[in-house]
Amino acid sequence: MKRTHTTKLGLLSLLLLGGVSLAVAPKDTLVIQQPSDYPTLDPGGVYDTASGQFVENMYETLWSYKGNSLTQMEPTLATKIPAYTNGGKTLVVDLRKNVKFHSGNTLSCADAEYTFRRNLVTNAGESGNWFLSDALLSTSSNANDDKTITWARIAKSVACNNKGQLVFTLPKPDPAFMAKLAFTGQAIVDKNWAIQQGEWDGTEATWKTWVGKDLQPSNISKKPSGTGPYMLVSRDANATLLQAFPGYWGGKVAIQKVMVQKVPELAARQQALLRGDADVVEAGSRANVQEQLRGKPGITVLDGLPTVSATAIFMNENIKNNELLGSGKLDGKGIPATFFNDVNVRRAFAYSFNYDQYIKDVLQGKGLQRSMLLPESFPGYDSKVKKYKYDPAQAKKYFEMAYKGEVWKKGFVINANYRAGSVTSQTAMEILKSNVEALNPKFKLNIRQKQWSDILKDSKEGKEPMVILSWAPDYADADNFMYTFYSSQGYYYPRNNWKDADVDKWLEAARNTVNPATRAQLYSKVAQRAYDQSPYIVVPMGSSMVAFRDNILGATNKTYSSMVSFGPGTLIYGTGTLWKDLSKK
């Protein structure tokens, strides 16, 4: 029986991976099409929604968000939501019994202990482990960068007690810690399987050799083993095939197979959705959905969905990539590495972006120009902070002031990238390009598409001069946006290299108080300073919408969750619902 099942699945894999179109996606199969790749299948290396949509369906965290709530949790691998003790510094977690990993191993406290220690030990830049370390070790750095981190501190922060319970010991209370543990990147991995694949052995004797290790290309990314409802069957450059895990503790799921295909062309994805070859696709901008999909036979469109992501155009003040600098000088043939250091340059670009046009053309009039890089639904958002507007006269003024007139006199050539296949990102960069180049014939802004995994890697290394990136929350707290974008210790700092001592001070104060009013005041001060210094171009955001085949059940406006990676965020695809909760009629 097992052999027969494998043979049928193997045939499906060959058909789909080979690019053979199915007349209609089978009832037990979910077919997804998206334009680009994804970096990893290792929870410890996840820090993007493209990877997250796989990991959140293959692995599981201790608890997760309840429905579409941003504040309420429900247990997943934990048996209940625990309460803090010891003045908010101790959390004791009971784990479910008889839960199996895809490998056949049984979940134990040792797996959870290993998972969090592994994340603390490695804590590479391209992961969400910095905020786990910040909560448990009082530093976002790993042991290579912070010599106060010892094995004893790591081992003490998370350990199994003699009752088989997982115990977290925090140096100080962290009101966001529960939410941090719901992040997909803190999903529990299979310790014995990981060690068998050549990953860290979990011992004090070897921990130092794994500090800072990038987990994205890890061995368990190639051969994952989670407790989730879906397990990996095959993967190549163009498609990934998963099947339902027959030993899943949560019971049988309706969708038995999931195929995620890489299809770069928007028109091809839209036609696949209209034909029924695909169930869900990344469908481009709101305008694309409105014009090509809404009202068409077989298509369901959910509109008015919450958007809890933030998008910005980055202006890197210390570009570490000579290949994209042209001449490397302010001579009209390139730019120096520190071109964006001049606040007048940054202000000029901010005045060059047509925010109203973006709202009209991309968001179809259903958008908001935010005052800061924080969703308006989050406590701490201040709508009264000043916002830039499209003003060519002001843009010209600041370009003429930049570098004592040298920018306006000599011109520049800037090379900017956006995520391949992202219509919204492409349109934003085209708007900026058109307006900047219209100011002065000596201004040149070259834009091009680039694979998502390459953008993530190069921007992390400070190699992108100007790039458009978004942020979806790891956990539902304003700190996750404000610290990420504006702190010199934040995740995005290496991508734009903007630093302000007062902003750093205010952000640290905000994360060390639980008083909402105090935090809101501090975030307003950060936003006001950011308006003055213009480290980013804040791209307007609209309510989200998704389109999928109308035979998909389980995805509605009421079930849609902003914290599920398989939702749009800034992308127009997904259902905002885990695969296990979907079915097809």
Nearest-angstrom CA–CA distance, 47 and 183 = 10
Under a CB-based contact definition with an 8 Å cutoff, are residues 366 and 543 in contact?
Answer: yes
Residue 41 has pLDDT above 70, yes or no: yes
Q: pTM score, two decimals? A: 0.75
Under a CB-based contact definition with an 8 Å cutoff, are residues 546 and 301 in contact?
Answer: yes
Phi, psi of 65 (to 5 degrees): -70, 140
In this structure, of 10-24, 278-292, 321-335, 527-541, the range with the lowest mean pLDDT score is 10-24
Q: What is the CATH number of domain 2-37+237-306+543-584?
A: 3.40.190.10
221-225, 366-370, 487-491, range with greatest mean pLDDT: 221-225
Cα angle for residues 132, 166, 97 (degrees, 5° grid): 125
Which of the two residues, 575 and 202, has the higher pLDDT score? Answer: 202
Nearest-angstrom CA–CA distance, 374 and 481 = 6
Residue 208 has pLDDT above 90, yes or no: yes
At residue 18, the pLDDT reads: 44
Which of the two residues, 472 and 470, has the higher pLDDT score? Answer: 470
* Distance from the first to the final alpha carbon of the chain: 26
- By CB atoms closer than 10 A (0-12, 13-18, 19+), residue 551 is middle
- CATH of 53-217, picked from 3.40.50.2300, 3.30.1360.10, 3.60.20.10, 3.90.76.10, is 3.90.76.10
At residue 61, the pLDDT reads: 98
Instruction: Quickly count: other Cβ atoms within 10 Å of residue 123's Cβ.
Output: 30
The tokens 């949790």 sit on which residue?
Answer: 73
Arithmetic mean of pLDDT over the chain: 91
Bridging pattern class, strands 541-542 and 466-471: unpaired
At residue 412, the pLDDT reads: 98
Q: Confidence band (pLDDT; 50, 70, 90) for 572?
A: very low
At residue 23, the pLDDT reads: 56
Residues 136-145: tens digit of each pLDDT: 999 999 999 9
Nearest-angstrom CA–CA distance, 578 and 539 = 28
Mean pLDDT, residues 433-441: 98
At residue 566, the pLDDT reads: 53
At residue 570, the pLDDT reads: 37
Which of the two residues, 393 and 22, has the higher pLDDT score? Answer: 393
Cα angle for residues 107, 110, 112 (degrees, 5° grid): 75
At residue 573, the pLDDT reads: 52
Bridging pattern class, strands 239-244 and 536-539: unpaired
Alpha-carbon torsion angle 214, 227, 63, 452, nearest 10: 40
Residue 22 has pLDDT above 60, yes or no: no
Nearest-angstrom CA–CA distance, 120 and 212 = 9
CATH top class, domain 310-541: alpha beta
Q: Confidence band (pLDDT; 50, 70, 90) for 50?
A: confident
Which of the two residues, 17 and 313, has the higher pLDDT score? Answer: 313
The tokens 């860290």 sit on which residue?
Answer: 200
Question: How far is the CA of 116 from the CAs of 186, 190, 492, 525, 564, in angstroms?
Answer: 7, 12, 23, 35, 21
Helix (H, G, I), strand (E, B) or coil at 117: helix
Domain with CATH 3.90.76.10 in the chain: 53-217
At residue 10, the pLDDT reads: 39
In this structure, of 74-78, 512-516, 527-531, 552-556, the range with the lowest mean pLDDT score is 512-516
Closest CA to 193 of 224, 233, 238, 218: 224
Residues 243-292: tens digit of each pLDDT: 999 999 999 999 999 999 999 999 999 999 999 999 999 888 888 898 99
2-16, 135-149, 282-296, range with greatest mean pLDDT: 135-149
Q: Which residues contact 490 (CB under 8 A, 6 or more apart)?
A: 483, 484, 507
Residue 407 has pLDDT above 90, yes or no: yes
At residue 461, the pLDDT reads: 95
Domain with CATH 3.10.105.10 in the chain: 310-541
Domain with CATH 3.40.190.10 in the chain: 2-37+237-306+543-584
Q: Confidence band (pLDDT; 50, 70, 90) for 564?
A: confident
